[in-house]
Structure formats: structure tokens, C-alpha cells
Structure 1
Amino acid sequence: MSAPKHPHETGLLICIFLLNAIEFLQGGMITFASGPILGEIGASPEEFTFATAVYAVVAIAAISKQRWIIERIGWRGFVQASVVVFVIGAALCASSDSFPQYLGGRVVMGLGGGPFLTSARLIVQLIPPSPRRFRGILAFAGGLAIGNGSAPLLASLAVSHGDWSGIFVLLAAMAILAAVVASFTLPNQLVPAEKRSQAHPLMTLVMMGGAFLILYALLRASYDFYADAMPLVLAVLVGAGALLYFAMHQHGHERPLLVMKRLMIPRYLTGMAVFTLGYMVLGANNYMLPVLMQGGLGFPWEVIGQVQTAGLIVAAPTFAVMAMILKKNQSAKKFYVTGFTFLTLSGLVLMRLNPEAGLWSDVWPGIAIYGAFITPVMVTTALHSFMDLQGDEVAFANGQQLKNMLSQFGVSLGIAGAALGLQWRSSEHLSVLLQRFNGDDAAFSHAAGQLGEQFASSHGAQAPMAAIASLAQQLNQQAVLLSSLDYFGFLVALGVAGALLMMAQRVLK
């Protein structure tokens, strides 16, 4: 007997793919193109950090309310409304010529697009329980691999053609297509009033306040931590207290917004820890790879997008191989160990680079191995974390919501950690390098003399100053490169620790 088939299965698969791809595309493209966007809207890095934190908090709030809204307007209405809001936000961002308008656009995008990832995963559950549901997982994983992998290339193409707003136009077009398909495929049944969750508006505000304090403090730390650490540490502690209070309130409530009590399962909690770590690595690498290639090795911005995409897209064929193995053996441990081994190898390749490294011959292999890390770890966690929740529709949905709320934290924490580490290591390396940046050092004097002769015809009397400025630029580039290599050395340690830990654990088998 053939497995039952949903009457609109193809449409469901398209929705799943598009909604998930949009989530990973927008995160990757906006992070990669942050520099050009900053210049176009006249924003400072600190303001862009503020926008990142605000977007994440709004997205977390929207995700927390997702099931509450679906209970009242149905799946079809929810996706349609989300897309309308998201497109309005994208239009505001695309037409921005100032930071306030861009910030407003990102807030609106977060309200509409924050739940896209959760929606994609929950739509998989609309496919009848059978082997055919695995097609939904394939579509979901394909959106992750292709969205995350193609983001750098698409962002670099948009900016190199002088139209950074094309990033938001593409996102809006994909969202509109998803809404059109959803209009013909998604159900619109409502949940009876007596079974609906409660809104908990005050607790939602507490959660949002706590999330904002933590995220903004951590993102801001890359600018202010060494100068004024105490307020930032205090903000993190207060924010953590607010989130803990929210969790305890939800755990003890009879009709909570999120059924925390039913999620206190070892398999689920372990999976959430792995997910958060995975998203932290994702955010940190999205930040550090352009720093390495452009700031450390000096390659053109347009070219590094091609190399980064060519490496990250390896996640797609990796999943194709993984899918074939899953049909015969779904045990998790081998995928986790393989994934963290890939992370270790990626760090080993990238930490051994030198100033003469070639993009395709030396850098690309390391990025490609990292691309192979993403799929085994993230997809395996998605498959195994929710096994004990399959028979509880509400707990499964709330578990997905909480997971994707943590993903917003994870990405932001990864970016903040990478930026803070870069600042710390750059200052350390720069202080050592500066010891030789003086006229008493023979190598410095020789290099300055040679450059001065080269600049004499074009700069005249200013040639010595131009030579020193050029050497200072090279000095900063060397500090950035050394700091980047330190980061990828840290990834080696993380990969080894992750592989050993996943070999020893007995929860995600």
C-alpha cells in the first residue's frame, strides 16, 4: 500500500523551501553586506548593532506569539499576513536613505519574517505521518543549505552593481511567491476558543525587555567592553533575570503562551543546546569569513562573495549524501561526530593561512569543509530533538517556537563573540607589531625608504608620510589576519570538544 499523500504536497514543499530559504538568505546577505549598507544609509557601526539587536528581539516576540495567532486566524491567514508585513518592512529598508527609516523597516521585517523558520518546520507536520513526510525535511534542509550558501554571492552581486536595495527586493519577491503558493495549499481551520492559549502581554514585554538587554549589551560589547564593562555586565544579568522570570511564569501557568513544563525533556533540552551552539558558529563565521578574506588578506569585496558561496553551498551535496544514509540508519551519533570533525578540519585549514594565500587554492577548501559541517549537525538535531514531542501537537509547535527564538539569540551571540574576540586579539597583536614601527628598527627603515622612493614621483615632498601611512595600513592588515587565525584556531578546539562530547553523550543517539 502506498503512503498517504497530501492533496497539495508539492505546494507545501515549495512553501517550506521558500520560507526557510528566506530566513537564512536575509541573515547571510545583511551580515555580509553590512559595510555597504552602513555607508548608503549614513549609519555608524554602533547604530547597525542597535538595529541587529532590535530585529532579533522583535523576531523573538513574533515567534513567541505564532501559535497564539494561528489558533485565531488559521495557517493560511497567518502566512499571508506575515508576508504582507514582511514585504512592507523590506520596502522600507530598500528605499532607506537614513538610519531611522532602515531601523523601522527592520522592525517591521522582524514582525513579519521572524516566524518564517518556525512556519517552515511546522508546515512539514501538515504532511500525513508517513515516509513522505521526509520530503518535507528534505525541502526544509534544502532551504537552509541553499539560502545560507547563496547569501554571500547574491549580496556581493547586488552591491557590486550599485544596488544594495536589491537584497530586500529579492527577499520580498520570494516572500510574495510563498504567500501565493500558501493561498492554494495551506488549511485555514481555527482552534476552538476553549483550547486556545492566552496572550500574556505583560510577560511578553518582560521577555522582550530581557532579550533586548542581553543582545544589545553583548553586541555593544565589541565597542565598549574594555572601556566600560560594568554597565554591560549589569545589563546581561538583569536581562537574564527577566528571561528566567518569564520561563518560570510560563512553567507554572495553566494556559501558558509556551508550554515550558512539557518541554523539560532531556532529549529536547540537549538538542536546544546543540542548536544554539550551531547558530552561534553560523553567526560568528558569517562575520569572520569576510574579515579574514577582505580585512586580513586584502581581496576585493566582490570576489570574496563568490568564494564564500562556493564553499558554503557544499552543505547541499553533503545533505544529499546524508539523506541516502538516513534511509538506512537514522542514528544521530555518527552524524554529530562527522560534523564536528568537519569543523575541526575547517579550522585547521584556515588557521594555517599566510599573507600569500590564494582565495580558491587555500581559503576555499576551508570554507567548503565548514559548509559540510552545517548539515550533519543542524539537520540531525532537527530530526532527533523533537522525537519525544511528536505525539503532543502543542508541545511540538511550542518547542519549535522556542528553538527558533534561541536561534535569534545564537546568531547574535556568535556575531558579538566574534567581534569582541577580534577586537581583543587585534589589540594584542597590534601592540606587539607596533614595537617595530619606529625609525630605530632596521626593517622598518628599509621598508619606509623603499616605499618613499616609489611614492616620490606621485607624492613629491609628501612621499615619506605616504610611505608611513602605507606601512601602517599593512600593519593593521597583519593584525587582522593574525586575529582571524586565532579565531579559526579556537574553532579547532571547539570542533574537537564537540566531537568528543557527542561521542560520550547518551541522549541524542
Structure 2
Amino acid sequence: MQSSPHSTSRARLLAIALIAWLEFLQNGLLNFASSQVMGGIGAGPEEFSQAAMAYALCAVVALFNHQWCVERFGSRRHLQASIVLFALGALIAGAAESPDGFIAGRAIQGLGGAAFFTAARLEVAQLPLAKRGLGLVAFGQALLLGSALGPLLGGWLLQAHGWRALCWGVLPFLPPALWAARLLPLRPPAPRPAHYPAQSFVWLLAAVFLLQWLIQQMPYQLFGHPQWLAAAGAAGIVSYALFRSLHRRRASDRRRWRLLRRPGYRMGLFGYSCCYLLVSANSYILPMLTVQALGFDLPTSGLLLSISYLAGMLFALLYAGLLLRGRAPGLRQTLLASCALLAAYGWLMSGLNGEAGVGRLTLILLLNGGFMSLFIMSVAQSTFRTIAPAAFAHAYQTKNIVRQVSISAGVALASVFMQERNALHYNRLAERFSWDAWQFNDALHLLREQLPNLSDTQRLGVLAGELARQATLISCLDFFRLEVWIALALAGCLLALRAAD
């Protein structure tokens, strides 16, 4: 008995969603509790950002080889192998006793997880034209749902089972993904798969590694060892030039890559990079604000972080409905509206104080969800509308390479930003942490009245904790002020491009 086309279409959409959301769920789990993961493996912010860099490096190489792997092994076999690699990486990262073990696990996850986003999106492109709009909605909703469930599930897992559960928490969702891979159409290996020169991968890996290392080490080495940074930058440029030269001359499918040399596509990649960098930086800093600075418990913090993505799902559905009815505003107007939402979000967040409640934060985080969904959907429309079907797979591979590098860069830059601002504000606040400062004596006197059973030594410990909390809070507010300026800069670029049209 054959299944109806309607049920087959629904099963295919479900399969696309089950594949698409995995990477976003795992990253949401880990970014939510970066501090707890660092404490569990004895790592600092630098090692945690190195794990993000290792994931991105391996993901970039896997993405660049995505089409080659599909043509050589077949789409289904490639996807199933990627799921197994992702599971292996999760097991290794969760069992790690040191930063090196965690970094190794995340690197293996990058090799597997890179395939999910691209494979799911390419399956949407293979849907019948009448179903493609619905496929895009299911694909986008799955990504946002994975991002929303990451912190929501992470708060519960962390409190109940510890940080290792954040790595292993994705494992129950992998058997359904293997089942989903069998539902997708089987595309066998190509009779003549593409051929790439092996040396090009080496130079690509070197270029991406040096870029990530520069981003991470710039604040530490700029004044102490500027010659190292200059040498690394020069080596990165040379590596990229050698990669481009080898690929242009010797890749068998180089003609398809040439179709991507369009200004609109390159501007779209820039927009993607900005959005993913901001989203990953927010995901890193928001848990510090809610847990360390505002003192919310882990489940409440996870719920708050998921609100942005749940709001993004609503904004995305609204925008998709307007698109399907032909009533959506123009791309430029939508992008400007999303920049306004980002500016309002940053401005309101920068005005928080230590007494901010859940209700106020919830309302502000809705704005962040609106920015994410509207900006990314508009950028996606403008980026791929002029790409020829023959080049779509390569265009999406390249876009996802940019995504991985931007996410890793966002974590690294946010880590460096928080370290630098924390050190600055802690030192400034510590100037008043002395017996000569009237603020210090007043605070100590107040604690003596409120906590009479504690000794002065214990009261000093309470004040030291409050000092660290205040430094973290002010540093987070600095980040949100920076987001306001970034939003204004993006809006200015859009208006300048309009004037140049």
C-alpha cells in the first residue's frame, strides 16, 4: 500500500526539521552554560573560545567538502555518517577531564554537525515549487526551536545532572535524526564526482585558523608581541591566496563557483556575518547577565534566554504569512526595521540595573527575537534570489562557511570584550574597596546591621562578591551600548546603499 503524496510531503518536512535543528540545539546548550563548562574542565575563557574555534575550523573544512562528499558517497550515507560523528564528538566532549579533551570533542562534532544545516536547506530546494515556501517555514522554525530549547533544556539539565549533561543532552535526539535521514530522497553517488586538489584544503584550513587565532589573540598580543600578529596576518593572506589559486586552476567544478561572483551575493554574506556574530555574542553574554549579574537561578535564566528565539518564531511566522500573501514590505524597509529593533533592544538592555525583574527582561528580549528573524530572513531573500540553480549548493556551502566563522568569532570577541571590561570596571570599583572610602564603610556598617551573626571577615567576603557582580553587570551593559552603535552603523550602511542605487 503506497502512502499518499500529502503524507509523504509531511514526512519529508518533518525529516528536514529533525535534521536542521540539531546543531543549533547543541550550541544553545553549551553557550548557555559556558561558565559552568569552563569550571567543569578547568578552563578559562580563552580555552572555551578555542573549543569554538576548533569546531569552526573542522566545520569549515567539512562544509567546503560537502558537495564532494555527497557526490562521492551519496546524500543519505553522508548524512548518516555525519550524525554518527556528531554523537561521537558529544560523548568525547562530555567525558572530558581537561580543556584538551573538550576541544577534541568539539572538533569532531564540527566535522559532523556542519552537514545538518546545509543538507536540510538543500532538501528544501529540492521540494516541489508549490511546497517550497512551506518547506522554508518549517526549516526556519526548526532552527529557532533548536536555539530556544537549548537554554531552556540546558537550565534543567545543568541543575539536575551537571555540565556533562549539556554535551550528552543532544544524544536522545540523534536516533530520530537517523530515522529522518532515511526519509529523505536517496541521491546516489555521482558517476563523475567533483575533484579538488588536496593542497587547497590545507591552505584553506591554515587561512581560517590564522583568522580565528588573530581574533582571539589580538587583545593579548597587540602591545606585547605585535610582530607575531603581523606575521600571522601576512601568513593568513598568503594561505588564502594560495587556496584561491589552486582551487581556480585545478578544481573540476570551478565553473559553478564562478557563478557566485555577484555583488548582491557578497553583500548578503556580509549581512549573514553581522547577524550570526551578534547572535553568538549575545548567547555568550546573556547568561552572564542573568545568572552572575542579576542572580537568577538556572531554570529561570534558561527560560529568559529562550524567549528571544520563541519571539523570533512568531516574528518569522508573521513575516512568512505576509510574504505568501504578497503583502510583505520591501527588503530594505524590513532590514531597517530590524536594525531599529536591535537599537531599541540594546538601548533598553543598557539601562538595566541590579533590580531588573523577569517581566521587564522578557519584554526587552522580544525585541531581540524580532531583530534576529526579520534580519536573517531579509538577508536570505536578497542573497539567493539571483543565484542560478546550478550554483545554489555551492552558494549555500559558502554561506555556511561564513556562518561558522562568524559564530566562532562572536564567541571569541565576546569573551575578550568581557575580560577587558571586567578587568577595567573591577579595578575602578576596587579603588573604593578600602577603609578610607566612605562607601565601603557605609556598606560594611549596613551589613553589620543586616547580618549580625557574621564576622567582619565573612562580611568582607560578601562585599567582594558584590564587587564582582557589579563589575559583571556594568560590563554587560557596555556590550549592549555597543550593540546600539552597531545597529545605527548597519542602518547607515543601508541608507547609503539606497542613496547609491
Alignment TM-score, normalising by the size of structure 1: 0.90
1:352 maps to which residue?
351
Determine the C-alpha separation between the residues in 1 that align with 2:493 and 2:72: 43
Moved more, 290-299 or 429-438: 429-438
1:82-481 aligned within 5 A: 82-128=82-128, 130-193=129-192, 196-221=193-218, 228=225, 230-232=227-229, 234-253=231-250, 255-256=252-253, 259-327=256-324, 328-329=326-327, 331-358=330-357, 360-392=358-390, 395-452=391-448, 457-459=453-455, 463=456, 465-481=457-473
- 1:57 offset after TM fit, Å? 0.3
State the aligned residue count.
Answer: 496
Determine the C-alpha separation between the residues in 2 that align with 1:157 and 1:258: 50
Conservation of the 8 A alpha-carbon contact between 1:221 and 1:232:
yes
Distance 1:103 1:134, change over 3 A: same
2:80 maps to which residue?
80
Determine the C-alpha separation between the residues in 2 that align with 1:69 and 1:182: 16
**DSSP 3-state at the match of 1:115:** helix
Distance 1:167 1:478, change over 3 A: closer
Determine the C-alpha separation between the residues in 1 that align with 2:498 and 2:175: 43
Conservation of the 8 A alpha-carbon contact between 1:215 and 1:413:
yes
What are the Cα deviations for residues 242-273 of structure 1, in whole angstroms up to 9, with x where unaligned? 23432343344452579542211011111000
Conservation of the 8 A alpha-carbon contact between 1:153 and 1:305:
yes
Determine the C-alpha separation between the residues in 1 that align with 2:118 and 2:320: 22
Determine the C-alpha separation between the residues in 1 that align with 2:494 and 2:439: 49
Determine the C-alpha separation between the residues in 1 that align with 2:85 and 2:306: 29
Conservation of the 8 A alpha-carbon contact between 2:197 and 2:246:
no
Moved more, 481-490 or 432-441: 432-441
Point out where structure 1 has 5 or more consecutive residues left out of the alignment. none
2:491 maps to which residue?
499
- 1:132 offset after TM fit, Å? 1.4
What are the Cα deviations for residues 417-458 of structure 1, in whole angstroms up to 9, with x where unaligned? 222222333333334323323222222222223335655633
Distance 1:306 1:224, change over 3 A: farther
- 1:468 offset after TM fit, Å? 3.0
Q: Which amino acid aligns with 2:471?
A: A
**DSSP 3-state at the match of 1:85:** helix
Q: Which amino acid aligns with 1:162?
A: H
What are the Cα deviations for residues 24-78 of structure 1, in whole angstroms up to 9, with x where unaligned? 1112211112222233334444333322211110111011101001111211111
- 1:232 offset after TM fit, Å? 4.2
Determine the C-alpha separation between the residues in 2 that align with 1:433 and 1:101: 37
Distance 1:440 1:98, change over 3 A: closer
Distance 1:506 1:391, change over 3 A: farther
Determine the C-alpha separation between the residues in 2 that align with 1:508 and 1:61: 37
Determine the C-alpha separation between the residues in 2 that align with 1:507 and 1:90: 49
Determine the C-alpha separation between the residues in 2 that align with 1:78 and 1:275: 26
Distance 1:45 1:504, change over 3 A: closer
Determine the C-alpha separation between the residues in 2 that align with 1:229 and 1:445: 44
Determine the C-alpha separation between the residues in 2 that align with 1:440 and 1:30: 43
Determine the C-alpha separation between the residues in 1 that align with 2:131 and 2:374: 21
Q: Which amino acid aligns with 1:386?
A: F
1:18 maps to which residue?
18
Determine the C-alpha separation between the residues in 2 that align with 1:345 and 1:248: 45
Conservation of the 8 A alpha-carbon contact between 1:219 and 1:412:
no
Alignment TM-score, normalising by the size of structure 2: 0.91
Conservation of the 8 A alpha-carbon contact between 2:29 and 2:167:
no
Conservation of the 8 A alpha-carbon contact between 1:250 and 1:259:
no
Q: Which amino acid aligns with 1:114?
A: A
1:53 maps to which residue?
53
**DSSP 3-state at the match of 2:126:** coil
Q: Which amino acid aligns with 1:166?
A: A
Conservation of the 8 A alpha-carbon contact between 1:68 and 1:198:
yes
Distance 1:51 1:219, change over 3 A: same
- 1:479 offset after TM fit, Å? 2.0
Determine the C-alpha separation between the residues in 2 that align with 1:165 and 1:508: 52
**DSSP 3-state at the match of 1:380:** helix
Question: After TM superposition, what 4+ stretches of structure 1 lie above 6 angstroms from structure 2?
Answer: 4-7
Distance 1:241 1:26, change over 3 A: farther
Conservation of the 8 A alpha-carbon contact between 1:210 and 1:239:
yes
Point out where structure 2 has 5 or more consecutive residues left out of the alignment. none
Distance 1:221 1:305, change over 3 A: farther
Conservation of the 8 A alpha-carbon contact between 2:92 and 2:105:
yes
Determine the C-alpha separation between the residues in 1 that align with 2:160 and 2:188: 45
What are the Cα deviations for residues 195-227 of structure 1, in whole angstroms up to 9, with x where unaligned? x32132211011112212221342345666665
